[in-house]
């Protein structure tokens, strides 16, 4: 495993649409392991492949600060979103030191393939729902800054649970 360089806003790779995965390969397994290592090293709760310069539909998410229990989502798709929304601070590892207020669905249901290319569904609420929406946006070249209400501002204390980087 190795740390990958996290691309930052302004890098055009973050504005592209990613391609689906058709088969798992040793190279992709390495990529996924590197994405996990890179996400944990950066204290992020999620990371999408384009953030490390790879235009493929892969995201990793782990919103649990207590234990390592990541979701690996390949070719993810949102199936349902709640009408109820949440409005709160959001950040991104590709936009270091900044955060902004974004409204997201309170709950989302999504489907994806796991690392064995087996389909599964995931239902997320609160921070997990926010992370799923944020990471899936990355696969279509969308950064959260385009959804910020008001101004992007300096990020607060990193231990602030409401202010997490994905
Ligand atoms: Ni992000």
Looking at residue 162, what is its pLDDT? 56
Looking at residue 77, what is its pLDDT? 98
Looking at residue 163, what is its pLDDT? 59
Distance 92 CA to ligand 1 centre (A): 4
pLDDT category at 165 given cuts 50, 70, 90 is confident
Among 135, 149, 154, 159, which one carries the catalytic annotation? 135
Q: How far apart are the C-alpha atoms of 133 and 79, rounded to whole Å? A: 11
Distance 41 CA to ligand 1 centre (A): 15
Q: How many other C-beta atoms can be found within 10 angstroms of the C-beta atom of residue 90?
A: 27
Q: Is 77 a catalytic residue?
A: no
Distance 134 CA to ligand 1 centre (A): 6
Looking at residue 23, what is its pLDDT? 97
Looking at residue 1, what is its pLDDT? 78
Nearest to 54 by CA among 25, 85, 13: 13
Looking at residue 160, what is its pLDDT? 44
75 and 117 Cβ atoms separated by less than 8 Å:
no
Token pair belonging to 49 = 């492949």
Distance 138 CA to ligand 1 centre (A): 7
Sheet of 149-154, strand order: 85-90, 98-105, 149-154
Does residue 56 surpass a pLDDT of 60?
Answer: yes
Does residue 159 surpass a pLDDT of 50?
Answer: no
pTM for the whole thing? 0.93
């Amino acid at each position: 495993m190795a740390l990958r360089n996290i691309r930052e806003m302004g890098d055009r790779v973050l504005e592209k649409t990613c391609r689906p995965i058709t088969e798992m390969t040793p190279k992709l397994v390495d990529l996924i392991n590197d994405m996990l290592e890179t996400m944990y090293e950066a204290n992020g709760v999620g990371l999408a492949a384009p953030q490390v310069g790879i235009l493929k539909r892969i995201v990793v998410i782990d919103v649990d600060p207590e234990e390592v229990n990541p979701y690996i989502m390949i070719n993810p798709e949102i199936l349902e979103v709640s009408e109820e929304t949440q409005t709160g601070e959001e950040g991104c590892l590709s936009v270091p030191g900044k955060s902004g207020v974004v409204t997201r669905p309170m709950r989302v249901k999504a489907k994806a393939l796991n690392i064995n290319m087996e389909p599964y569904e995931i239902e997320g609420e609160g921070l997990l729902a926010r992370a799923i929406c944020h990471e899936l946006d990355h696969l279509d070249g969308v950064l959260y800054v385009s959804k910020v209400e008001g101004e992007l501002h300096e990020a607060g204390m990193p231990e602030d649970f409401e202010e997490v980087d994905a």
